[in-house]
Structure 1
């Protein structure tokens, strides 16, 4: 029964308003239970860090996500490990064998030159959907706001479907200060300069998620969401939490 006036949400299959979860090793049994109830509010599943390489029954997990119309992909750390060991061709074969159609190009741990990453995007977009990640996992490695804007736009121009803003699963690097506070000046510049439908903000905590919902709207793209938090996040998007209570429908739709 629908009787409340709530912010308008995008519906499956979404191109924005995405919720991307981070799977750090949830068991198949637990995952089946979660997806049976909540798959309709999950769009993307990242097999986090490099854990895909040691995940038991990985193909079954990938297939389970796909059965629920959720896009699975491997975390950027696995890409960087393969880059470091000169195993990118083997990595791409590995993804194809798993039936994974999305690949992340990042430099969160390694310092991969920007032009090399852009060349990889141009090459890989022929066979994969590509997500570029901007920002470092090292909280001491700073980028200026203009560098953030330029790099994100370059990735989109090179052919990325989306660009992730680094935030780590702890929310203490990239778009966040070491203490976890949000670099609000950076975020404001990003959403003014770039189509926010093409940016996926890593937002691992409810505090971070509520900030982006208030600043961008309920259809902001959010990543690094914990599987157990997806229903609470959807409630936040719908104005059903104190911090987002007064969101009005006319305020909350991305242009």
Structure 2
């Protein structure tokens, strides 16, 4: 009979960083994946492969309304079985606001089995009092609330003071995390320039204004962006709009299992040596 020890990778190979060994839902860094239209087989494969490392799956923009409802319920059931929060994209709620159909929208997503919601104003204007009211209403309905800061228009930037105020109010109202807009491209919006490079001075200004940066989630669809934010904040930074096919690769970076963050493992080895 094979030894159980031989069937497992050495822990220092599984997680050289030493930062991913505890319960992934206890402050170890949220990963939010954006699903832009996977079929059931592809979604099932994604869950089987990367499910243990994903906290949130977002059904991007307004795609949720386009699925056959049985297919959608099956996908949501798979997400729930992997303890993922499933939410429609914030743009769908913005459409509901514009069409004066918010009550119907919330009734429907709850009945379908969505467990989270994203409240954003990337395309519309949303008064502060309405934003707070929506957060509280969604929480009353048992939904986990994520909010988003930033506009989707190309060239839109971050106002650090406005972000700090928005985040403070959202957290006070009960939002779990505040996401910084970068769209699914990560180009020329929010924190990133036309080439997808991080605007370092903007990042530093944000950190100087926001009191609880550990409750910010950064949309970072590109690998270079993920690596830069991991090196800036560490393995537990919250990252969103990750492509399903890149979810396992991101977890590898969080652990120091890619060259971009190889130093995570070296720092842990040095700490162990010092002890």
Output the TM-score relative to the length of structure 1. 0.91
Partner of 1:239: 256
2:172 pairs with one of 142, 157, 169 = 157
Instruction: Give yes or no for contact 1:7–1:250 (8 Å, CA) kept in 2.
Output: no
Point out the structure with the larger helix share. 2
The alpha-carbon deviation at position 174 of structure 1 amounts to 1.9
The alpha-carbon deviation at position 238 of structure 1 amounts to 1.0
Larger Rg computed on CA atoms: 2
Q: Distance in 1 between matches of 2:28 and 2:206?
A: 16
Partner of 2:206: 190
After superposition, the CA RMSD in angstroms is: 2.0
Partner of 1:24: 36
2:171 corresponds to 1:147: no
2:61 corresponds to 1:61: no
Secondary structure at the residue paired with 1:132? strand
Q: Distance in 1 between matches of 2:48 and 2:128?
A: 41
Instruction: Give yes or no for contact 2:158–2:191 (8 Å, CA) kept in 1.
Output: no
Secondary structure at the residue paired with 1:245? helix
The alpha-carbon deviation at position 71 of structure 1 amounts to 1.1
Output the TM-score relative to the length of structure 2. 0.85
Q: Distance in 1 between matches of 2:151 and 2:74?
A: 32
- Structure 1 residues not aligned, in runs of 5+: none
Count of matched residue pairs = 252
Q: Distance in 2 between matches of 1:59 and 1:23?
A: 15
Partner of 1:50: 62
Partner of 1:249: 268
Which stretch shows the higher mean deviation, 171-180 or 21-30? 171-180
Which stretch shows the higher mean deviation, 98-107 or 72-81? 98-107
Instruction: Give yes or no for contact 2:27–2:236 (8 Å, CA) kept in 1.
Output: no
Q: Distance in 2 between matches of 1:46 and 1:14?
A: 20
1:133 pairs with one of 148, 160, 168 = 148
